[in-house]
A and B are shown apart, each in its own frame.
Chain A
Amino acid sequence: MRPVQSLAASAQQAVSAKLYRSGYTPKSLEETQRDVLWWVYARVQAGLNLRPLLLSGWGIAWTSAGYAELVPIEVPRAGRDRVTVRVLFSSVSPGTERAQYLKLPNAQVGVLGRPGYSAVGTVLSVGGGASGLAPGDLVAVTGAAHASVVNVPADQAFRVAPSVAPEQAALIMLGTICINGADMAATQPGERVAVVGSGPIGIVSFRIACRAGVPAAVIATTRRGEAAARSSGAPLLTVDDDGEEIRRLGADVVIEATGDPQGINHAIAAAGEGGRIVLLGSARGVTHALSLDEIRRKRLRLIGAHVDTLDLHPGPSGGSARREAGERFLELLAGDEVAVADLLGPAIDPRRAAAFYRDLAQNVHTGGAYFDWRQLPSAEAVRRGHILRPPNVLGLGMDSARPLRPHSRRRPESLMPPDPFAGAAGRLRLGLIGCGDIAVHNAAGAAAAPNVEVVACFDPNRRLAEDLASRHGAAAVRSQEEMLAAPDVDAVVLSVPHDLHGPLAIEACRAGKNVIVEKPLARDLDSAMAMSQAAAENGVWLSPCFPQRYEAKIQVARRLVDEGALGDVRGTLIQLFLDKSPSYWQGGFSGRAQSDWRRLKERAGGGVLIMNLSHHLDLMRYLSGLEVETVLALAEPTEGIEDVVAASLRYTGGALGTLLGSSSTRGSTEEAMSLWGSEGRLVLEPRARVYTLRPSSGLRTTRWYSFGRLPSVNIRAVYLSRLATAVSQGRGPEIAAADGIAVQAIIEAVYRSAPEQAAVRPAELTGELRQAVPAIA
């Protein structure tokens, strides 16, 4: 290495090391480097154009192999012999762009990493020397990157006749290629024409060539292009099934338009004596076993017809062959002489570029497509830029660890939590049964809710009941029977040891009281099902208290999931590490009510899973909308209540989940919770954030977004208020007995799986009980 290069490399390493130490990651550093490069490029272009004014918009970038993004761009206003165009549609060249995206052989993309082919839009400004165009003209442009605004040489802009659909005019580059191919084929009247490849280039060039010749066949590897082939007047032959028929074609002209290096061998097979083969598809790699002998024997002529060869000679009218080809294509469209509407493919929201290119790379999407830039907010598509704007060197949003933070005054709509008490209605009067630790929180929640009040309290420890009643202006009743007989109690809230949930809830139901049960619904599934049955038989409702659903971040996450930010959910992760002190096992976290029920399996039903992770299981059901289908678990100890539990979950639809929890992990509490899908990922703990390939209101795709600082809410108040509203409006509780049973069934499945180390299906457990107790069904 030469000294200068060595010095530069050392300097780069030193700068990178410093940036890494300050929090940059390789990916965010890559983003920073790209933005600086583009920043410099835009300003150099502005200088060369002698037009310092810039426009900004959005464009698609390929940041590295397999990654696409929609990123801010800047372009100069039109300088001499140039035009700036506000883009309506930009056409995708599926074969070329797939190859470039995957960095296949013979498919380089420029140093700026910006794909693009051709587009259509309206002229924003015209530089000096560019005659024949005016602002507002509809033009098709070649050599345009996929972007909402482009600056191109005026001779690459073609005025579009009003009779031409703009989406079709955006195919001008494809049309130019096909015109060139057809010219090279020089089909004579009556000649038989075949095409290898059923992509847009193959079909359009075939249609143009067949204006003189006779359609013979479309040859492809699959039958996907059958409809397009038939509409072109030719049968579709597949290379696997119709080899003999292909050999018998004896075509005078074969257009090879596959992009597959082996496509040429099929073209040679299809060609007849003295035939001409036009090489139109850009083969991505080496052709193996090219039969020179067959080329010789048939006296074939293989004609290289890359679009760049248009620059080797003038066009038929003596001008630029490239320009003339483009104009002729637009004339064919204007005269309705060649059909392309069936090849356009779907309109893609540019914000979905990342997902689109993934589909293209995996052949999920084949055929034509175009980006519809009108789908961007108008004010975002083209706006005034600033030459003095500094480059963005923060590199935020590229990595989970460095998410973008929502600005407090401009929080994206998708990250806005709902008003927790919006539409609160009705009035729910509660009687608290059990006045220990958790009842204090439930009472406080009732007090904070606009439509809930505590009217009565009961606890075997009368001191606890009187304490809580006095705090909330409620009556301290002497027995649960007195509570259940009280006409002013609409619902009872059970904040008692798990083993009492079942008996007390059933008794309350029989007394005609609605029942709220602190999670879990019951000590075990059997009891939970019996509670549910009792509620149904007595015409009251039963709701397990899973208030964490109403945390602001969970509500935001649910909204994102509903908007499709994750696509199809593929997986979930739950981790909870707690260090429960010896005092917890004697009196809970506060010590308000001394009892050792939490350490007894027959009273608590289990350890960290039923006591704590039941919340997480409910949240994953709530957010994903999926049910756990199969559980495979381990737990220690297997006798008594577990300290550690690990489980693998399989959800309906095939998503997988993992759960790991411990109540005896030394050190502070640590929690991780996330779920992910085909198009995004949500991290709820630690530091809630989201990444999505789907456009959501106000969020950039392919960027990590922090949820930022969300308002603190009393989640029990929200739970109780929404419950009160729902029942006052004749709806059942938002969190119903069925939700509690679903969670209980997962817990039961874990506890049955762990000792046997065998898979257990929660639905079979509930099914067993339904069979045993037909009334439940």
Chain B
Amino acid sequence: MSAGGGHSAALIAETMAAVAHLPADRVRVTGDGPLARQLQGRGLHADTAQAPLAVVETTGRGAGLTAACAAVADGGLVVLAADGPEPVDIDLYRDAHRRGLVMLGTSGHRAPAPSGDDSLARE
């Protein structure tokens, strides 16, 4: 978190870059903190009728991660964007491996890497 209470522009930019190849209305942001609000403010809002193609997880909690995995479509992307998340217990087979999910860590500490060609890009 930046000194001013807002999240670094680099993290926001990196997160936005990670989902840039997807329609903004198919990207859900979890959590209700400042980071979530800032990302939502940039147009990320999933249509609730369809499973999102990506979920940006901003809570940093195990339950939040599990919920993000459950919400995203098979083969979808889960972006780990929360600052300082605690280690979590997770059934990766059930929550990610079996369903072909991609989990992507974003830190904002450096310039974002170019968006990868994850499995969703093949849709």
Please pick, from A276, A286, A295, A309, the residue contacting B89 in the complex, using a CB distance under 8 A: A286
> Chain B interface residue count: which class?
35 or more
Q: How far is the CA of A305 from the CA of B100 in the complex (A)?
A: 5
Residue from B105, B118, B123 with most neighbouring chain A CB atoms (10 Å):
B105
Q: Are A285 and B91 in contact (CB under 8 A)?
A: yes
Total residue contacts A-B, CB cutoff 8 A: 126
Given A292-B105, A309-B75, is A106 in contact with B91 using a C-beta cutoff of 8 Å? yes
Q: How far is the CA of A127 from the CA of B110 in the complex (A)?
A: 59
Closest to A283 in B: B93
Say yes or no: is B80 at the interface (Cβ < 8 Å to chain A): yes
Query: Chain B interface (Cβ within 8 Å of chain A)?
Result: 14, 60, 65, 74-75, 80-82, 84-94, 96-107, 109-110, 113, 116-119, 122-123
- Give per-residue flags for A306-344: 1 if the beta carbon is below 8 A from chain B beta carbons, else 0: 101100111000000000000000000000000000000
Q: Are B109 and A292 in contact (CB under 8 A)?
A: no
* Residues in B neighbouring A296, C-beta threshold 8 A: 80-82, 85, 105-107
Closest to A180 in B: B100
Q: How far is the CA of A314 from the CA of B92 in the complex (A)?
A: 24
**Nearest CB of chain A from residue B78's CB, rounded to whole Å:** 9
Say yes or no: is A26 at the interface (Cβ < 8 Å to chain B): no
Say yes or no: is A301 at the interface (Cβ < 8 Å to chain B): yes
Q: Are A299 and B87 in contact (CB under 8 A)?
A: no
Please pick, from B75, B92, B103, B117, the residue contacting A287 in the complex, using a CB distance under 8 A: B92
**Nearest CB of chain A from residue B35's CB, rounded to whole Å:** 12
11 additional A-B residue pairs with CB within 8 Å, beyond A264-B92, A304-B102: A261-B93, A282-B93, A284-B93, A292-B80, A296-B81, A300-B103, A301-B104, A301-B105, A306-B98, A309-B74, A312-B75
Q: Are A301 and B89 in contact (CB under 8 A)?
A: no
Say yes or no: is A293 at the interface (Cβ < 8 Å to chain B): yes
Q: Are A313 and B75 in contact (CB under 8 A)?
A: yes
**Nearest CB of chain A from residue B34's CB, rounded to whole Å:** 17
Q: Are A304 and B65 in contact (CB under 8 A)?
A: no
Q: Are A292 and B118 in contact (CB under 8 A)?
A: no
* Residues in B neighbouring A303, C-beta threshold 8 A: 102, 118-119
Say yes or no: is A40 at the interface (Cβ < 8 Å to chain B): no
Q: Interface of chain A, helix or strand or loop or mixed? A: mixed
Say yes or no: is A365 at the interface (Cβ < 8 Å to chain B): no
Q: Are B91 and A312 in contact (CB under 8 A)?
A: no
**Nearest CB of chain A from residue B55's CB, rounded to whole Å:** 14
Instruction: State how many residues of chain A have any CB contact under 8 Å with chain B.
Output: 39
Q: Are B107 and A297 in contact (CB under 8 A)?
A: yes
Q: How far is the CA of A491 from the CA of B107 in the complex (A)?
A: 98
Please pick, from A105, A288, A293, A305, the residue contacting B97 in the complex, using a CB distance under 8 A: A305
**Nearest CB of chain B from residue A709's CB, rounded to whole Å:** 55
Say yes or no: is A289 at the interface (Cβ < 8 Å to chain B): yes
Q: How far is the CA of A105 from the CA of B99 in the complex (A)?
A: 16
Q: Are B74 and A312 in contact (CB under 8 A)?
A: yes
Q: Are B100 and A304 in contact (CB under 8 A)?
A: yes
- List the 5 closest A-B pairs by CB distance, nearest first: A309-B100, A295-B105, A292-B85, A289-B87, A296-B105
Given A287-B90, A288-B89, is A295 in contact with B80 using a C-beta cutoff of 8 Å? yes
Q: Are A274 and B118 in contact (CB under 8 A)?
A: no
* Residues in B neighbouring A285, C-beta threshold 8 A: 91
Q: How far is the CA of A298 from the CA of B118 in the complex (A)?
A: 17
Closest to B69 in A: A304
* Residues in A neighbouring B94, C-beta threshold 8 A: 106
* Residues in A neighbouring B105, C-beta threshold 8 A: 292, 294-301
Q: Are A293 and B85 in contact (CB under 8 A)?
A: yes
Q: Are A302 and B60 in contact (CB under 8 A)?
A: no
Q: How far is the CA of A295 from the CA of B79 in the complex (A)?
A: 10
Given A299-B105, A306-B100, is A290 in contact with B90 using a C-beta cutoff of 8 Å? yes
Closest to A309 in B: B100
Given A282-B97, A300-B105, is A293 in contact with B91 using a C-beta cutoff of 8 Å? no
Please pick, from B81, B87, B98, B109, the residue contacting A308 in the complex, using a CB distance under 8 A: B98
Please pick, from B60, B75, B119, the residue contacting A292 in the complex, using a CB distance under 8 A: B60
**Nearest CB of chain A from residue B31's CB, rounded to whole Å:** 14
**Nearest CB of chain B from residue A195's CB, rounded to whole Å:** 16
**Nearest CB of chain B from residue A312's CB, rounded to whole Å:** 5
Q: Are A261 and B100 in contact (CB under 8 A)?
A: no
Q: Are B103 and A295 in contact (CB under 8 A)?
A: yes
Given A186-B117, A290-B88, A292-B65, is A299 in contact with B97 using a C-beta cutoff of 8 Å? no
Given A302-B102, A304-B98, A308-B98, is A287 in contact with B89 using a C-beta cutoff of 8 Å? yes
* Residues in A neighbouring B82, C-beta threshold 8 A: 292, 296
Q: How far is the CA of A285 from the CA of B75 in the complex (A)?
A: 21
* Residues in A neighbouring B113, C-beta threshold 8 A: 274, 299
Say yes or no: is A590 at the interface (Cβ < 8 Å to chain B): no
Q: Are B91 and A304 in contact (CB under 8 A)?
A: no
**Nearest CB of chain A from residue B80's CB, rounded to whole Å:** 5
* Residues in B neighbouring A295, C-beta threshold 8 A: 80, 103, 105
Q: Are B85 and A286 in contact (CB under 8 A)?
A: no
Please pick, from B74, B75, B80, B90, the residue contacting A286 in the complex, using a CB distance under 8 A: B90
Closest to B11 in A: A296
Please pick, from A276, A283, A293, the residue contacting B92 in the complex, using a CB distance under 8 A: A283
Closest to B94 in A: A106
Q: Are A293 and B87 in contact (CB under 8 A)?
A: yes
Closest to B96 in A: A304
Q: How far is the CA of A302 from the CA of B74 in the complex (A)?
A: 14
- Give per-residue flags for A107-124: 1 if the beta carbon is below 8 A from chain B beta carbons, else 0: 000000000000000000
Say yes or no: is A279 at the interface (Cβ < 8 Å to chain B): yes
Say yes or no: is A392 at the interface (Cβ < 8 Å to chain B): no
Q: How far is the CA of A186 from the CA of B65 in the complex (A)?
A: 26
**Nearest CB of chain A from residue B27's CB, rounded to whole Å:** 17
Q: Are B93 and A106 in contact (CB under 8 A)?
A: yes
* Residues in B neighbouring A297, C-beta threshold 8 A: 105, 107, 109
Q: How far is the CA of A469 from the CA of B13 in the complex (A)?
A: 115
* Residues in A neighbouring B14, C-beta threshold 8 A: 299
* Residues in B neighbouring A306, C-beta threshold 8 A: 93, 97-100
Q: How far is the CA of A295 from the CA of B80 in the complex (A)?
A: 8
Residue from A279, A297, A300, A314 with most neighbouring chain B CB atoms (10 Å):
A279
Q: How far is the CA of A283 from the CA of B97 in the complex (A)?
A: 9
Given A283-B91, A292-B80, A295-B103, is A302 in contact with B96 using a C-beta cutoff of 8 Å? yes
Say yes or no: is A291 at the interface (Cβ < 8 Å to chain B): yes
Q: Are A309 and B92 in contact (CB under 8 A)?
A: no
Q: How far is the CA of A290 from the CA of B61 in the complex (A)?
A: 11
**Nearest CB of chain B from residue A320's CB, rounded to whole Å:** 14
Q: Are A290 and B96 in contact (CB under 8 A)?
A: no
Q: Are B87 and A291 in contact (CB under 8 A)?
A: yes
Q: How far is the CA of A106 from the CA of B84 in the complex (A)?
A: 30
**Nearest CB of chain A from residue B50's CB, rounded to whole Å:** 16
* Residues in B neighbouring A299, C-beta threshold 8 A: 14, 104-107, 110, 113
